[in-house]
Chains A and B, each alone.
Chain A
């Protein structure tokens, strides 16, 4: 079946640390993945995406790594800040190509 899951429901870090949020996906044919950040009372906010022909993509303070061999995705946040506190979702495109399939999310808490 199609499913996207995250390894840890919560992650607590200190301000300035690097954060790593992990995600496993099940559809080996998936060719597009997105990370979203969702703050309380808001809709998911696009962070970074990656296509299956890439292993790594970098943005501003964020890096996404894709390991197709083990069907694993990770989001790395450098120098984590209190404003990074939110729920993070990974998502993959469904087999029909019409929708995103989201995992349950990881809640990142950053303490100063």
Chain B
């Protein structure tokens, strides 16, 4: 079975541009979460979606937005990119989005903002 898949794997953008990252959850999983991981630190929560509804949001500016589609895949959008947005963006999926469920992560999208 395929795990969580993310695309693209690497991306280079310049300041002020916009970026869209994509994620497909494990088959049967209805919840998708997004995390940002800056080099040398642990992942930081951005969003959680379940059944197309936003269930949780981390401490990130409004430049960050996301959505979940009927097939449970998800997109993360970041507008007006800043140098500090350079990071590994991780998508994770879980069965029903309950707080004591295992989260399974993809390999991430490495975003570099120049």
Which residue numbers of A lie inside 8 Å of B, CB to CB? 4, 31-32, 34, 36, 41-46, 49, 51, 89, 91, 93-94, 96-105
Contacts and interface: CB of A to CB of B under 8 A. Distances in A.
- Interface centre among A46, A98, A101, by most chain B C-beta atoms within 10 angstroms, is A98
Nearest to B103: A100
Interface of B is mostly: loop
Interface stretch (B11-19, B39-47, B69-77): B39-47
Interface residues of B, number: 24
A94 B48 CA distance: 12
A101 B45 contact: yes
A31 to B, nearest CB: 7
Interface in B58-108: 58, 90, 92, 98-100, 102-108
A12 to B, nearest CB: 18
Contacts of A51: 100
B108 A99 contact: no
Contacts of A4: 42
Given A94-B45, A102-B43, A31 B58 contact: no
Interface of B: 4, 33, 40-45, 48, 55-56, 58, 90, 92, 98-100, 102-108
Contacts of A104: 40-42
A40 to B, nearest CB: 11
Contacts of B48: 98-99
Contacts of A36: 105
Given A43-B90, A103-B42, A98 B99 contact: yes
